[in-house]
Every structure is written in structure tokens, then in C-alpha cells.
Amino acid sequence: MIVKVAQWIGTRIKQEDAYVVKHFREGVLAVVCDGMGGHHDGALASSMVAESYLRSFERNDELPMPQRMRTALNDANESVRESFEQRGVYGGTTIVAAFAGSGVLRWVSVGDTALYLWRRERLIRLNQDHSFRDVYRKYIGAGMTAQEALRRGHVLRSAVTGEPLDLVDAPAIPYPLLPGDRIILASDGVEDILAPELLTSVGRNILNTREGSLPVALIEACQALDDPYADNTTVVSIDV
């Protein structure tokens, strides 16, 4: 498997995204976190959760993979609670953690950071979207466009803040992978290019191109939109 990463600050004054990638004997782990804008120490929360997740995942290598991934999430959430309690501040972050190995993909996620699969000319969002975009999507075609649904639904319904995790996407059954699959973890700064409902020929061409770096190409496409409100963007790709 080939892993590539790219990151862009957008037009924001601070990079609140964080990521980790590590190869193991049995596969590769990728984690992307998007600190919650508008909250104190969102950048700290995202980096803390990404690093804590990796440490717990490494430490608990005797556990079955589903339990290992969920335990790492719980440990990361606890690290936020302890740190922010001591500091007297509040912050939060989304997380998507994916492990690809032995011909399957497993993941856990909280929030709206996306896990996509590009297979045979089709872009599929694999993980749940814990924001109100997922609610607004029900109204697409009934007076609301896909663009409006995405723009209006950014408020999160779940995030890693140290509080109990109400919404967690952690499927018990792994997702089978095929040769040629492209796995993409992406914070919401890239949704104008990658949202399945809005996928354009530009997005399709980027996803089909095997030369160069997929994350770099996606971020360059985001930059070309010249959006004055462009968000932080992080993209990790895993080519099977």
C-alpha cells in the first residue's frame, strides 16, 4: 500500500487539523483530526487526540482489531478530558482513524471528517457524517440543493471533547478491499471537490490519475476555487 499526505491552512490564521500515519507489519494506520473552530484550543485537541490514538493503538496490540481501535478512541477522549480539565479550558476535535491490512479496511470516527473509497469510477463515503449536513441531505431535491445542504449543515452532532461519546461510527464487520482501491481520509476543507453529490469532472480526473500525489492534487484543486473562506484542509490517501 502506498500512502501520501498533504495539508493546507486555507485562509484561516491557524492550522487546527492534525494527522498521523504509521506502517505496521499487518497494515497501515491513518488518523485525521479536525479541531473544532470557535472553541478554545481546537488545535491542541486535534494534535493531542491524533497522538494519543496512535500511542494507545501501539500499546494494545494484543487486542482484537475492533476492540483495539475503539480502545484507542476512548483513550484519546480521556486524554482530552484530563488535559483540558487541568488547564481550565474547553476544546474538541473530530477524528477518523482507518486501518488497512489483510485485504480489509476498519475504521472508527466521530464528527464529520470523511473516509472515502474510490472504486471503479465511483466515490463512496464509508463513514457516517455526524453533522447536520447528513440531516439536510434528506431535503436535497425537495427545495434544497446539494450545495446548500453541505453549506448549512456544518454544525457537529458529535465530537471528541472529553465528554461521553454519543455518536461513534465503528462497524463490527470490516470493509473488503480490492486491488486498485483508493482510500481517502479528508477534513471538510476538501468537500467542495470530493463530496459525492457534487463530484465534478475535475474531481473525477484527479481521482483517476495515478501519477503524482493525490492529496496534493486535491488541495491544489481547492486552492484553485479561490474561496475567501477556505477551511483548513488535510488529505491522506492509501492506494491498495
Q: What is the pLDDT of residues 217-238, one digit of tens each?
A: 999 999 999 999 899 999 999 9
Q: Round to the nearest angstrom and report the end-to-end CA distance of the chain.
A: 5
Tell me how far apart the alpha carbons of residues 156 and 130 are, in angstroms, rounded to a whole number: 6
* 212 pLDDT more than 50: yes
Which residues on adjacent β-strands are paired with residue 184? Answer: 116, 237
Indicate the pLDDT class of residue 153, thresholds 50, 70 and 90: very low
Structural domain boundaries, residue 46: 2-231
Higher per-residue pLDDT: 193 or 236: 236
Q: Is residue 240 assigned to a domain?
A: no
| pLDDT at res. 149 | 54
Q: CA-CA distance, 37 to 56, in Å (whole number)?
A: 26
Write the single-letter amino acid at 216: V
Q: Is residue 71's pLDDT more than 90?
A: yes
Secondary structure class of 58 (helix, strand, coil): helix
At 152, is the pLDDT very low, low, confident or very high (cuts 50, 70, 90)? low
Across the chain, what does the average pLDDT equal?
89
The strand pairing partners of 13, in sequence order, are none
Q: pLDDT tens-digit profile of 42-70?
A: 888 999 999 999 999 999 999 999 999 99
Q: Over 60: is that where the pLDDT of 3 sits?
A: yes
- Are 225 and 8 in contact, with CB atoms under 8 Å apart? no
Q: Is 239 part of a structural domain of the chain?
A: no
Mean pLDDT to the nearest integer, 16-34: 96
User: What CATH number does residue 180 fall under?
Assistant: 3.60.40.10
The DSSP call for residue 230 is: P
> Does residue 42 belong to any structural domain of this protein?
yes
Percent of the chain past pLDDT 70, that is, above it, reads: 87
Q: 44: alpha, beta or left, given left = phi > 0 and alpha = psi -120 to 50?
A: alpha
Give a yes or no: residue 236 inside a domain. Answer: no
pLDDT bracket for residue 28 (50, 70, 90): very high
Considering the domain boundaries, does residue 28 fall inside one? Answer: yes
Domain count, the chain: 1
Which pLDDT belongs to residue 145?
Answer: 65
Judge residue 180's burial from the number of C-beta atoms within 10 Å of its C-beta, 0-12 exposed, 13-18 middle, 19 or more buried: exposed
